[in-house]
Structure 1
Amino acid sequence: MNAEDSEKISNAAEIASATIATGAGIAIGGTAGALVGAAAAPVLTGALIALSAKVQNIRHQRTIEVLGEVARLLRVDEADLPHILASSERLLELTSRIIQAAQDASSAAKRSALSRALATAAADPDPARLDVCELLQTAIADIDAPHVRFMYVIEDAENLPEALDLAPDSNHYGLSLQQVFRRDPGLQESGPSILQKLHSLGLIESCARGISSTADRDKPYALSNLGRRLLRLLREDGELS
């Protein structure tokens, strides 16, 4: 860590300490509160400097991990990767978003999926592929383990054919929330909010044959094409297909 980085971390710690100290003074009130806050600040500063340094190191390591994986998937030297990722403004913007999302992701599976999404975009950065990779980046960043768990539960649910006249009435399409809960009772409490999030991200689609009056909890759902692609990114371990 250079002197400039150390100064930035120290300044951030000082600001955080001052904020906490001010809060302590307000909570206790009067002169006594101010003294308590002022006395606490120097102690907190040292702890916050150490914490900030650890957080910065973790985020730095996650960035190295993701970019190293992208270089491996593309089969290029890491020294050549910046030139590839900066070949277009849109690809560079996606790179920035993926790095930020990876830094925030404690899940190794999410970081791997983000790496694969970026490598896919960099391998062939045409507008259509970038559209999909941008959607995937947003979805990966916004979902957590319960959402992935829900997606695995409905993975084998059949999608409604685009041509409804090719959908026999005898066939069952999608799964309702109640059917999901029977497969995984642990999802019951959070199921409705999970469903709303997945639907808003375009990762699942309704199989209700156009019935709009049915409540969301009663409609059958299946993974969308985007959802199935996201699960593949979370699973894959190897070279780009």
Structure 2
Amino acid sequence: MATTITIDRQYVKTGETAELKFTFTNPNYSLSLASLTVRTEASTDTTVAGGTVHSLVNRGVINGQRVYTATFTPTANLNYSFYRIAYDVAGDADDAFSDYFAVDTVRPTIESASIAKSDLRLGEKTTITITFSEPLTYSSFTLADLQVDAGKGTLSNLRRVHSDTVASATWQVDLQAPTTRPASGLDGNQIRINLAGITDKAGNTGENSVVNGVATSWTNLPTVSYNIDNGVPPMVAITGQPATTIKGGDSFTVTFTFNER
């Protein structure tokens, strides 16, 4: 019987494979791929296999025991799920199982982003909320992964919405408008995020610029932009008053035209 089945990774993520090791007390034991299965222990979709076992190699007799190794290749586009490698032969006494391991071959993405107030006075502060497709690992997302244009404000107090110690999918960051009016670009300012800087629990980054062959993994937060007030009090022109006195029952329209929205 198989005394142990081990896997060299606790998490198998995008672009990775894992090595399996099978050790038998009987030095003459012969193992075949047909007796091995990938068993779903917990999954959002139990019909999806976690991966395949292949490339079986007989390593010979080591310390009086027969040793085999094989390669586990995870299924693509599979959300975080738990699996075990099962060795199934006739008779339950000869069955064996590996420890639990997780498969996650989906990169985290930005699910939504919003800004509490998009029109800011000079020096005014607002809050931006970012929700990812899955929780991120602790401390993988930092202020260094966010940018605004020079002179267009500062970002601070990046935080999880829930606990500081438990992975969360929703984060918030404060944006303060500059105290001095920018020389240009008051409207439509963007906030950029480095997708290669965010990491899920399995270690998948939001973007792999090397694999995808792009020069940068920075992108604008979707649906988030802000405008900076020019710091000058608005002026108004009033038109439409009649030039003469009106009598009872008459009416007229007055138009107030401001020099900014």
Q: More strand per residue: 1 or 2?
A: 2
TM-score (norm 1): 0.23
Q: More helix per residue: 1 or 2?
A: 1
TM-score (norm 2): 0.21
